[in-house]
Amino acid sequence: MTRWTYSKGLHDLGNGCHAWLQPDGTWGYSNAGLVVDGKDCLLVDTLFDLPLTREMLAGMRRAVPQAARIDTLVNTHSNGDHTFGNQLVEGAQIIAARGCAEEMAERPAETFQAMMANWRTMGEAGAFLHEVMGARFDFRNIVHTPPTQVFNGEMSVRVGGKEVRLVEVGPAHTRGDVIVYVPQDRVVFTGDILFVGGHPVVWAGPVSNWIKACDLMLSWDIETVVPGHGPITDKKGVRDLKQYLEFILVEARKRYDAGMSDADAVRDIAWDAFRDWTDPERVFVNVAAAYRDFRADGKPLDVMRLFTLMAQAHNARKAACGHGHAH
């Protein structure tokens, strides 16, 4: 099953498809992809800061001369760990779902940068954000670089003689999630529709939409799946995540119907099946997202409340383990 090693850097998937991996896939450590045919080159996502993106582009150019000029960049969604390096892919058209472009405009890199710089004013949530993101990345000099072409639904791009299908499956992880499918190579780059070995985060939902996205991928003839975070997988990784989302819907529903709060539901649910997954504090977001689906009132999640709950869970886990780092 572990045909691919999970090490930092470029991995040749064959037929001109490549993945750039960043273990261990926790907050901000995302994967990217490269599809090459003839002289043409398509990049799937940039990274969280400029130094990391620069290092990735240099690594791609060393292995793949065509990457010196990337014609097309696809942003799978709006989160900074997939878009903050956009400005370094000079001259490329940038394609994304309309919902992705909207979120990027609402929360430009500069706003995020300012929030990270002011973490001390945001209590426990701020300290957590600083620990898991602010202190690990270099957010200087990032300039908001939005998509140049947006779409809804599906579009097809040609890379040399190859067809690359961009399929919008959100809202799920965010408002505009796109997966990048190369049918002739049986490869899919999922963006954050797939996390492997770590808890996903349901920022947008509905959860049922995300399950549909898993079913769609499972219906395709694919053999190599590059997740947004975590090691390269195949359909097993997709099945595991689908099961996780179904588990959340079932367990959260019982407790919602019993009148339990979302935070109490998180503490009550037995998460043993996912004991080895990174970032377990994210269950607070995911159960809150399921509750919102049940209420169907369309109210956005209270992100600061959820970051505070995540911070408390994260700190409690660190204290329990007694040596200052998180498992």
Compute the least distance from the CB of residue 267 to Zn ion, in Å: 26
Segment interacting with Zn ion (CB under 5 A) among 75-83, 117-125, 130-138, 284-292: 75-83
Question: Is residue 134 within 8 Å of residue 183, measured between CB atoms?
Answer: no
Residue closer to Zn ion by CB (options 95, 194) is: 194
Compute the least distance from the CB of residue 191 to Zn ion, in Å: 7
Query: In sequence order, which ranges of the chain are alpha helices (DSSP H)?
Result: 50-63, 80-83, 98-106, 109-117, 123-129, 207-219, 235-257, 262-268, 283-295, 303-321
Residue closer to Zn ion by CB (options 72, 190) is: 190
Helices 235-257 and 207-219 meet at what angle, rounded to 10?
160
Q: Which residues of 51-60 are buried (b: 16+ CB within 10 A; e: fewer)?
A: ebbeebbebb
Give the per-residue contact string, 11-40, with Zn ion (x = CB under 5 A; - = no): -------------------x----------
Residue closer to Zn ion by CB (options 82, 255) is: 82
DSSP classification of residue 299: P
Compute the least distance from the CB of residue 27 to Zn ion, in Å: 8
Compute the least distance from the CB of residue 151 to Zn ion, in Å: 21
Give the per-residue contact string, 200-229, with Zn ion (x = CB under 5 A; - = no): ----------------------------x-
Q: How many residues bind Zn ion (CB under 5 A)?
A: 5
Burial of residue 269 (number of CB atoms within 10 Å: 0-12, 13-18, 19+)? middle
For residue 23, give the nearest of 140, 242, 188, 196 by alpha carbon: 196
Compute the least distance from the CB of residue 138 to Zn ion, in Å: 17
- Phi then psi for 41, rounded to 5 degrees? -150, 130
Residue closer to Zn ion by CB (options 189, 256) is: 189
Residue closer to Zn ion by CB (options 16, 28) is: 28
Segment interacting with Zn ion (CB under 5 A) among 127-135, 186-194, 231-239, 282-290: 186-194
Residue closer to Zn ion by CB (options 192, 240) is: 192
Query: In sequence order, which ranges of 41-108 are alpha helices (DSSP H)?
Result: 50-63, 80-83, 98-106
Q: Which residues of 277-286 are buried (b: 16+ CB within 10 A; e: fewer)?
A: bbbbbbbbbb
For residue 97, give the nearest of 19, 29, 27, 180 by alpha carbon: 180
Number of H helices, E strands in the chain: 10, 12
Residue closer to Zn ion by CB (options 177, 192) is: 192
Compute the least distance from the CB of residue 230 to Zn ion, in Å: 10
- Phi then psi for 264, rounded to 5 degrees? -65, -35
* Residues with Cβ within 8 Å of residue 295, at least 6 apart in sequence: none
Compute the least distance from the CB of residue 245 to Zn ion, in Å: 17
Other beta carbons within 10 Å of 153? 9
Question: Quick check: 192 binds Zn ion (CB under 5 A)?
Answer: yes
Segment interacting with Zn ion (CB under 5 A) among 68-76, 139-147, 187-195, 253-261: 187-195
Residue closer to Zn ion by CB (options 29, 119) is: 29
Compute the least distance from the CB of residue 323 to Zn ion, in Å: 28
* Residues with Cβ within 8 Å of residue 275, at least 6 apart in sequence: none
Give the per-residue contact string, 78-97, with Zn ion (x = CB under 5 A; - = no): -x-x----------------
Which spans of this chain sit near Zn ion (rule: CB under 5 A)? 30, 79, 81, 192, 228
